[in-house]
Structure 1
Amino acid sequence: MPEPRDLIEEARTAFILESPAFGNGSEIPAKYSLRGDNKSPPLRWRGGPPETTAYALIVYDPDAPGGIFYHWLLYNIPPELTGLPEGVPAEAETPYGLQGVNDYGRLGYGGPAPPPGSRHRYVFLLLALDRKLELAAGATAGEVLRACKGHVIGYAVLLGYYGG
């Protein structure tokens, strides 16, 4: 399975991803954690490549003890969107795209829940794609990453921390 960083290497354009809930490199508020409200944070982006056909959002924890842990897979995001609201519903098909199964084994967003006493990084990676992914809703991280390979034309990253 390709790693998220492998997909960034094929991108030609970097663009901006941010959240009104937390700044890049800062602490993710507890309400977005698994033990909090477990709602996805609001996101917005700008500067994506004009030839984008769809976006894919991959949220992961690279510091998880067993290797990368995937918290959210949202793909075939319409190219005209420039953001996501707080609390995207945990449904297979949404107006914001299709959702995959996270590493908690659930559809949609699953918030941060690092082991007690540890502070982890959470990477929000938004990929601009030159085509929609030929995947049904409920795909795994491996399926989404493999489908994106060779089709990434731009990327944006937002980094948050959680735990302590």
Structure 2
Amino acid sequence: MLKLTDDIKKAESVLNVTSPAFGDRGEIPVKFTKDGLNVSPPLRIKRVPHGTACLAIIMDEMEAAENRRIHWLVWNIPLTHHINEHHIRDVQGMNDFGGISYAGPGAPKGLHHYHISVYALDQPLELAPGANYQELKQAMEGHVLGTGTLTGYYKSKLQ
């Protein structure tokens, strides 16, 4: 099993994460941002490793390593290959904006990149709703079978 560290990037080819709403490295439609409806985008997941019990999602904005902003944490998603938009049925964590929910892109100025990483886990996590990024990362340690990332960009239309 993989450790949840920065070297997990080596395993990102395990899962193929896409969205019917935008392509990898494409522009995130306004509907999925704070300028629009602020709902999470639909995701499609392929090449899920054998032994996967559930999935977790971490969405962050990381223009520089020291400026990581967490937009969405969700875990214990039953194994699936399709996650619908506005997915709120599973356990969610605290984003960096003070909510236990999805917080779409909406940076005040400039072009920003967002990473939606999906993790295949070998077991459900014993983690209470509202946990933060560090708590989720620690709970996932030793349980990650694979991961994949979809990257999108957004520049606020309200600037």
Structure 1 residue aligned with 2:55: 55
The CA deviation at 1:151 is 1.5
The CA deviation at 1:35 is 2.1
Gaps of 5+ in 1: none
After superposition, give the CA deviation of every residue in 1:12-59 in whole Å (9 maximum; x if it has no partner): 861211100000010001111112110111111111002111111000
Residues 96-145 of structure 1: per-residue CA shift (max 9 Å, x gap): x21111111111100001122x1111000001112211101111111111
Residue-by-residue CA offset, 1:37-82 (whole Å, 9 max, x unaligned): 1011111111100211111100000127961100000101112x11
1:88 aligns with 2:87: yes
1:112 aligns with 2:111: no
TM-score under structure 1 length normalisation: 0.85
SS at structure 2 position matched to 1:146: helix
Within the candidate set 124, 136, 154, 2:128 is matched to 136
Is the contact between residue 10 and residue 150 of structure 1 (CA under 8 Å) also seen in structure 2?
Answer: no
Q: How far apart in 2 are the matches of 1:125 and 1:149? A: 15
Runs of 4+ in 1 over 6 A off after TM superposition: none
Aligned residue in 1 for 2:22? 22
CA distance in 2, matches of 1:12, 1:65: 18
Relative to the length of structure 2, the TM-score reads 0.87
Rounded to whole Å, the distance in 2 between the matches of 1:159 and 1:11 is 16
Identity percentage over the alignment? 40
Q: 1:65 to 1:35 in 2, by over 3 A?
A: farther
Contact 2:11-2:148 within 8 A present in 1 as well: no
- Residues 6/67 of structure 1: CA separation in 2 closer, same or farther (3 Å cut): same
1:151 aligns with 2:150: no
Secondary structure (helix, strand or coil) at the match of 2:76 reads strand
Letter in 2 for 1:120: H
Distance apart, 1:6 and its partner CA: 2.1
1:154 and 1:101 map into 2 onto residues whose CA distance is 23
Are 1:33 and 2:33 an aligned pair?
yes
